[in-house]
Amino acid sequence: NAGVMQNPRHLVRRRGQEARLRCSPMKGHSHVYWYRQLPEEGLKFMVYLQKENIIDESGMPKERFSAEFPKEGPSILRIQQVVRGDSAAYFCASSPLQPGQGHEKLFFGSGTQLSVL
Amino acid sequence: LAKTTQPISMDSYEGQEVNITCSHNNIATNDYITWYQQFPSQGPRFIIQGYKTKVTNEVASLFIPADRKSSTLSLPRVSLSDTAVYYCLVGELGGGNKLTFGTGTQLKVEL
Q: Is the pLDDT of residue A1 over 60?
A: no
Instruction: Name the residue with higher pLDDT: A98 or B39.
Output: B39
Which value, in Å, is the radius of gyration of the alpha carbons in chain A?
14
Burial A28-44 (b: 16+ CB within 10 A, else e): ebebbbbbbbeeeebbe
The pLDDT value recorded for residue B94 is 56
Residues of A in contact with B101 (CB under 8 A): 35, 37, 42-44
Q: Is the pLDDT of residue B96 over 70?
A: no
The residue of A23, A31, A43 whose CB has the most chain B CBs within 10 angstroms, and thus the best one to mutate to test that interface, is: A43
Give A83's pLDDT tier (boundaries 50, 70, 90).
Answer: very high
Q: State the Cα–Cα distance between residues B42 and B38, nearest whole angstrom.
A: 6
The pLDDT value recorded for residue A28 is 85
Tens digits of per-residue pLDDT, A47-67?
Answer: 999 988 998 898 999 999 999
Instruction: Name the residue with higher pLDDT: A38 or A13.
Output: A13
Residues of A in contact with B40 (CB under 8 A): none
Tens digits of per-residue pLDDT, B28-55?
Answer: 888 889 999 999 889 999 999 999 989 9
The pLDDT value recorded for residue A108 is 93
Tens digits of per-residue pLDDT, B56-93?
Answer: 999 999 999 999 999 999 999 999 999 999 999 887 75
Q: State the Cα–Cα distance between residues A4 and A108, nearest whole angstrom.
A: 6
Q: State the Cα–Cα distance between residues B13 and A108, nearest whole angstrom.
A: 28
The pLDDT value recorded for residue A82 is 98
Contacts of A81 (CB under 8 A, 6+ apart): A15, A16, A17, A18, A64
Could you tell me the sign of the dihedral formed by the alpha carbons of B111, B78, A42, B69, in that order? Answer: negative
| Contact: A95, B96; criterion CB under 8 Å | yes
| Contact: A42, B101; criterion CB under 8 Å | yes
Supply the mean pLDDT for chain A: 90
Interface of B with A in 5-44 (CB under 8 A): 32, 34, 41-44
